[in-house]
Amino acid sequence: MYVTAVVNQKGGVGKSATVLNVGAALAESGRRVLLVDLDPQGHLTRALGLPAAGTANLPRALLGQWDGELGELVLPFGERLQVLPTSEDMFVLEPQLYSRTGREWLLSRLLDAFAPAFDDCLIDCPPSLGALTDAALAAARTDGDHMGRVVIPVQAEDSSLDALRLLLRQLATLTQVLAIEVPVAGLVVNLYDARRGRVATSMLEVFQRRDDVLAVIGDRKEIREGWRLKQPVIAHAPESEPAGWYRDLAKRLVDGGAR
């Protein structure tokens, strides 16, 4: 199973929309996909129209307080796509994690149990650089037993560059402390609107100079409408240009490292 953490501590850049739309495109291409809503805000869980988890939930599973069937933790969302929803308990989980040694590995260990049943796992990270994001980054490592990477949605505006620098610094620190390798697959420039003028176009050029832009996703009503209708854009507007962008992005991720 390939684990992709979709991460950026900056809010509203499109992490959850990327997870939903890329996840659906991966499933459409035949891959078995698990989406993990690691954000206590639960935007992804809500965007999919799923109920928040009950007693069988992600925080309990992370803390080792769930010994039921793994299948009870996930909910189906269409063919080949399953979701590990969040629950309100996630809000109290994060502070508890700080006093727990080995907290960085809790999510990775849980996902190991799901690995045989899925080809891809996409983690929707919260907009912060806390213990949950660290756990997602650790779960996205690549080593002898794991295949992982991070995908970073960014917006073409000045503050996104500062956020990106901070995120990459945090990633470098974490990988050094934990002695792990977490490949950065690349950026998804999201909510792009060239009509915003030089600010947007020149920032896009700055990102493109990094040479790892995986996709440029425009600010488009089909994506917004799909989100509101609890549908990925490939279902809401299957023939639209944005649907094509997400299919291309999914293909790029598969080609960039599926085993």
Ligand X SMILES: Nc1ncnc2c1ncn2[C@@H]1O[C@H](COP(=O)(O)OP(=O)(O)OP(=O)(O)O)[C@@H](O)[C@H]1O
Q: Which residues bind ligand X (CB under 6 A)?
A: 11-17, 39, 43, 127, 190-191, 217, 219-220, 223-224, 227
Partner whose footprint covers residue 200, from ligand X, Mg ion, none (CB < 5 to 8 Å by kind) = none
| Measured CA distances, 238 to 41, 46, 60, 175, 235 (Å) | 28, 22, 37, 39, 5
Integer Cα distance of 3 and 181 in angstroms: 13
Partner whose footprint covers residue 12, from ligand X, Mg ion, none (CB < 5 to 8 Å by kind) = ligand X
Where is 214: in which H helix or E strand? strand 213-218
Closer to ligand X by Cβ: residue 148 or 232: 232
Closer to ligand X by Cβ: residue 96 or 128: 128
Where is 113: in which H helix or E strand? helix 106-114
Binding status of residue 155 toward Mg ion by CB under 5 A: no
Shortest Cβ 219–ligand X spacing (Å) = 4
Shortest Cβ 44–ligand X spacing (Å) = 8
Closer to Mg ion by Cβ: residue 15 or 146: 15
Binding status of residue 15 toward Mg ion by CB under 5 A: yes
252 three-state secondary structure: helix
Binding status of residue 86 toward Mg ion by CB under 5 A: no
Those residues with Cβ within 8 angstroms of residue 134's Cβ, 6 or more apart along the chain or in another chain: 103, 104, 174
Q: What angle do CA 89, 49, 84 make, to 5 degrees?
A: 50
Stretch that binds Mg ion, among 37-45, 94-102, 109-117, 209-217 (CB under 5 A): 37-45
Among 16, 86, 155, 160, binds Mg ion (CB under 5 A): 16
64 three-state secondary structure: coil
Integer Cα distance of 248 and 250 in angstroms: 5
Partner whose footprint covers residue 155, from Mg ion, ligand X, none (CB < 5 to 8 Å by kind) = none
Closer to ligand X by Cβ: residue 22 or 74: 22
Q: Is the distance from CB of 156 to CB of 192 less than 8 angstroms?
A: yes
Using CB under 5 A, list all residues that contact Mg ion.
Answer: 15-16, 43
